[in-house]
Structure 1
Amino acid sequence: MKNLKLLLAVPLVAGVLYGCNKDEVKDVPENAPVEETNTEKQKNENAAKSTLFNFTEFSLDVDYSATESYDVDYDNERTGMEAELEDDRKNEKLYGDEAFTKLEPLFKQLTFDSTTSNDEVIDQVISVFNIADDYQSIEVEVKFEDGTEKEFQRIK
Structure 2
Amino acid sequence: MLAETVCSAVSAAGLGIAAVTAYRKRFLTALRIAAYSLIPVGLVMTGAVGWLASTAFSPLAWAGFGVLGASWALFALVRAVEHRRGARTARATAAGGPAAPVSPSASAPALGRKAGEGSRPASAPPASQSSSDDFSDIEAILKKHGI
Compute the TM-score of the two structures, normalised by the length of structure 2: 0.23
Compute the TM-score of the two structures, normalised by the length of structure 1: 0.22
Larger proportion of strand: 1
Larger proportion of helix: 2
